[in-house]
Structure 1
Amino acid sequence: MQLKPIDQQVVIIVGASSGIGRETALRFAQQGAKVVVSARSESGLQSLIEEIHQSGGEATAITADVSHFEQVQAIADKTIATYGRMDTWVHASAATVFSLFDQMTPKEFKRVIDVSLMGQVYGAMAALPHLKQEGRGALIHVSSMEGRRALPFQSAYSAAKHGMEGFLESLRVELAHEKWPISVTSIKPAVINTPFYDKGRTKLGVKPTGIPPYYQPGLVADAILYTAEHPTRDFIVGDVGRILDVAQRLSPGLVDSLLLLAGFPLQKTEQLKSEDAPNNLYEPVPEHDKVTGEFDHLVVPSLTDWFDRHPVAKNSLIAGSVIGVAALAWLATPLFQDTRV
């Protein structure tokens, strides 16, 4: 399966007014892609379009709420009407409520599922017919490490991300069975420094936070741009995400114990915040239409992401390590030989 170079692509980014989506749209435009951006926030999209145009990029915006299929379909329709095709669909929109499960209402839980799971499903439904008509392309869905390991205070969001992983696995096999050269990627970020924690509804009494460390949104954008050119099944963003993935596979009970100790206190700041404070569960919050959040002081670099984007170097390192271990074992053999006469 071969995907087009980015500078030859028409790319849709859904959930583009802030955070990962906004940074990703800027990166695609900088590399020469024609970009269609969508979100609920008209002001966020307008400022994004202006920023792209000022840097010489080409972009079109359409306001949409992803919980309504007709509005998601309109994103695809406008893309085809404007550019005649689409090559990559990136879906990054999400909403959440930080709360103990028994303090959430059915309406709140359903809204998180409608945006964070069904919105992703609607995106794939709208994009697939056009990608099939083009004969190739990429579906890139921004999931979360919570699709691998759920966290307390985030039952609805974790359920949505687990559901997304099941949906993508099924879709990926169906497309392979029908021999469609369409790449289906799940991007699984660890904790990212976006306005996500500023915009989410909270019932914790305080402003929520991710369990540190944080990574910058640009790291996720790097992964998305890489998978837009290189078919990839899963891409975990952040060293801690990879550690969590291994720990969950080896011992879910151990991760339970760690979260009992750290998962509750480390998701709360000391900043008071009521559940009635502005949040993006049902309406956009324009003041947070920006790329980064307020946790720069907790951001760390990630080393393993670079290797995943450079598989030749990664394989060379692995091969070199194996050879090194084998050489050490060979050199050490005489030390352990039986010297008895």
Structure 2
Amino acid sequence: MTKNNPGRFFEDYSVGQTIRHAVPRTVAEGERALYHALYPARHALYSSDEFAIACGLDGSPMDDLLAFHTVFGKTVPDISLNAIANLGYAEGRWHRPVWPGDTLRSESTVIGVKENSNGQSGVVWVRTRGINQVGDVVLDYVRWVMVRKRDPGAPAPEPVVPDLAIAVDPADLVLPEDLSFRDYDYDLAGEPHRWGNYEIGEKIDHVDGITIEEAEHMLATRLWQNTAKVHFDATQRPDGRRLIYGGHVISLARSLSFNGLANAQMIVALNAGAHANPCFAGDTVRAWSEVLDKAPTLAPGVGAIRLRLVATKGDSGVFALRGDDGKYLPEVLLDLDFWALMPV
């Protein structure tokens, strides 16, 4: 009897199937320290207990993307071990903060399948939930991946393509209980720019760049227990290069966005996302953002701002995204659309 696990292939997924992922993970201050070492993360709410307490929280929660990576990493052996590409995200919401000492596990429900015309692969849509030790959902999101078929001759399933929202409605954003920015300290946060200072359509160059080192992205992917072969095994690609985990690029771009968006403190929704082009060690990542929308919230002094965060390996100050053919330009690595919370 074979005891190793080759991972799931396209034929192994069916709509309605729920997969409980191994292995639960207790996150602690060590993960926070490693996260801040890997990425130049400086948002005050995730750096200082005292700053977070002044904003109505019990202390400094774990970074939103740290929670995302932890939940995402659990899903890889079951969802994307044999994936060709991670295609996109939608309908993501953070439901409650993750605190040091919380134990997170993940489960995914298949909500769509569609074989590709080449008969060699297909697209699988899943809704993933991250759940803490008391059974509360801390975040959920939809993602879709292109997965290899085990047997190209296997019959195609009836296609089911889910109807996904373009963006999370501001009325459906979940804010932490007791969050308040009425006594927000702009000096300690690092910038004076508040919700009212940003205009829809405004674009912000985040100026700085980070060159990705092989050791850093390997450490990051191991930290999130992401087992996708293309991130570790140089024989998995014809060019012999290890692909950078897309979440690593997300966190780098988010950290770079501090310069211009230091007060976009909490990510509360993931509207859409695309890893536009592959990223490799040696690439220098830069970032820019566009303000897509703004909305008030019921929390004291708190506004929601919808941002497009674009990571590139091009020059600073270039806001190009797509070519005349409508396709992403080759220097674009990430196109991420999310809601964040900012002091009014």
| Structure number with higher strand proportion | 2
Q: TM over 0.5: same fold?
A: no
TM-score, length basis structure 1: 0.26
Q: Which has the larger radius of gyration?
A: 1
What is the TM-score of this pair, normalised by structure 2?
Answer: 0.26
Normalized per residue, the structure richer in helix is 1
